[in-house]
């Protein structure tokens, strides 16, 4: 940015003003959010899909709200309204962790509509998460690479889940990025607290616990410091998931009810060899009469493999802590999913991979530009498809 400043008797002085990295990140995120929300509202208005149920009744004609409350949004609204229930072998709300619906209930207790509350939480957390990501990345790499990584995240094809969609991804992102940012600042207790809130939001506690703990030990080792009891503090980040399991044991007599619910008919994520070997994925891809379904599942599989592979250079470029975190946070859903559906969205949680990719693209401006343009175009396409009630993730 350039600013012309008048000087008495000397004409104009041209001053170059550079936006800070967090402000650039915020601007990038806001622009991406506006474009995605507009695209979703346009396709929702075109009625390219089907009715959105209760949300359509509460917000008739408001396509901006309706575009963000597809699919699992109904589960979160129901949990915020009614709480949890569990029936074995039946799709039950216990499959969804409590962090996000509790936040929705908190805003609804203040008088806000639950659908609007969920979208507002996602939008605010998504924008804040990207800004915190930029601040975290700047601690590990030089500013240009950090900004490149931020743009890669903001324009990631499934990043529209951070821009007002009533899903828990944005809340998890802001919490887990905040935890690692606090850790890099040696605020270990804050890191553990944010990590605990993150593990109460998504069922990936092993990734958060291992990632924070290994990274903290790495930082201590680099300074040649002796290990103390304080070095176990990051492991407390698993308390969020532990508390949810304790609640499930007390209320339903099954601390693993969330996992058992995932195996219910319709979801069918049963912990067995067939699931682990992705037999269902191969069956659908090889026999499906729908090209869209095939492309969707193959796309999620490619993104899963790509994210896992980025854990390898992450060890060299960012350290063992982040490599372990990437591998486990994407590895858990990759192993437990029968068809890898939704893994492209889950890859958002593996946020260090965007810095790794930014470093791999360094010195390749044409490839970087092409990557960002292609990714941004796909982002808008998927945002529009989601608004039209197309099942994308």
For residue 49, the model assigns a pLDDT of 47
The whole-number average pLDDT for the span 70-88 is 94
How far, in Å, are 115, 273, 342 from residue 390 at the CA level? Answer: 19, 30, 13
**Does 92 fall in a domain?**
yes
- Share of residues in the chain with pLDDT > 90 (%): 81
* pLDDT tens, position by position, 251-273: 999 999 999 999 998 898 988 99
Strands (E), the chain: 2-7, 11-16
Tell me the backbone φ, ψ of residue 101, rounded to 5 degrees. -65, -30
Say how many domains are in the chain: 1
**Does 180 fall in a domain?**
yes
Q: For residue 260, how far is the Cα from the chain centroid?
A: 23
**Does 239 fall in a domain?**
yes
Residue 76 domain boundaries: 2-356+364-387
What is the C-alpha to C-alpha distance for residues 393 and 389, in angstroms, rounded to an integer? Answer: 11
User: Whole-model pTM?
Assistant: 0.93
The whole-number average pLDDT for the span 187-199 is 98
**Does 393 fall in a domain?**
no
Residue 73, both tokens: 């949004």
* pLDDT tens, position by position, 347-378: 999 999 999 999 999 999 999 999 999 999 99
For residue 288, the model assigns a pLDDT of 86
User: What confidence category does residue 6 fall into, taking pLDDT thresholds of 50, 70 and 90?
Assistant: low
Closest of 155, 316, 312 to residue 330, by C-alpha: 312
**Does 225 fall in a domain?**
yes
DSSP 3: E
Burial 103-142 (b: 16+ CB within 10 A, else e): bbbebbeeeebbbbbbbbbbbebbbbbbbbbbbbbbebbe
For residue 309, the model assigns a pLDDT of 97
* pLDDT tens, position by position, 133-187: 999 999 999 999 999 999 999 999 999 999 999 999 999 999 999 999 999 999 9
**Does 247 fall in a domain?**
yes
Closest of 139, 158, 138 to residue 150, by C-alpha: 138
Q: Is 42 exposed, middle or buried (0-12, 13-18, 19+ CB in 10 A)?
A: middle
**Does 245 fall in a domain?**
yes
For residue 97, the model assigns a pLDDT of 98
pLDDT at residue 60 is higher than 80 = no
**Does 138 fall in a domain?**
yes
The whole-number average pLDDT for the span 319-328 is 98
């Amino acid at each position: 940015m350039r600013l012309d400043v008048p000087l008495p008797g000397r004409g104009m002085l041209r001053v170059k003003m550079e936006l800070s990295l967090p402000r650039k990140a915020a601007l990038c995120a806001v622009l991406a959010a506006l474009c995605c929300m507009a695209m979703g509202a346009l396709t929702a208005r075109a009625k390219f899909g089907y009715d959105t149920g209760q949300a359509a009744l509460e917000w008739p004609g408001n396509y901006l709200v309706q575009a963000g409350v597809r699919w699992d949004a109904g589960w979160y609204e129901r949990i915020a309204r009614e709480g949890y229930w569990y029936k074995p072998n039946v799709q039950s709300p216990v499959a969804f962790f409590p962090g996000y619906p509790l936040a929705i209930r908190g805003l609804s207790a203040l008088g806000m509509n639950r659908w609007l509350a969920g979208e507002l939480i996602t939008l605010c957390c998504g924008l804040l998460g990207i800004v915190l990501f930029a601040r975290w990345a700047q601690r590990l790499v030089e500013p240009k690479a950090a900004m490149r990584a931020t743009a890669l995240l903001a324009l990631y094809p499934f990043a529209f889940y951070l821009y007002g969609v009533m899903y828990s991804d944005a809340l998890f992102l802001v919490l887990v990025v905040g935890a690692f940012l606090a850790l890099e600042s040696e605020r270990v207790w804050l890191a553990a607290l944010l990590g605990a809130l993150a593990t109460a939001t998504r069922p990936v506690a092993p990734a958060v616990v291992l990632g924070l703990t290994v990274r903290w030990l790495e930082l201590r080792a680099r300074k040649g410091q002796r290990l103390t009891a304080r070095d176990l503090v990051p492991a407390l980040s698993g308390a969020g998931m532990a508390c949810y399991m304790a609640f499930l044991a007390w209320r339903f007599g099954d601390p693993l009810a969330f996992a058992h619910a995932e195996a219910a008919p319709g979801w069918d994520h049963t912990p067995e060899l067939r699931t682990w070997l992705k037999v269902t994925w191969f069956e659908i891809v090889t026999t499906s009469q729908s090209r869209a379904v095939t492309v969707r599942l193959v796309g999620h599989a490619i993104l899963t493999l790509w994210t896992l592979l980025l854990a390898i250079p992450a060890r060299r470029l960012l350290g063992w802590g982040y490599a372990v975190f990437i591998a486990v946070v994407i590895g858990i859903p990759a192993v437990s999913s029968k068809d890898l559906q939704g893994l492209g969205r889950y890859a958002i949680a593996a946020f260090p991979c965007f810095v790794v990719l930014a470093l791999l693209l360094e010195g390749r401006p044409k490839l970087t530009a092409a990557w960002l343009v292609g990714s941004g175009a796909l982002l808008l396409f998927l945002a529009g498809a989601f608004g039209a009630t197309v099942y994308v993730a």
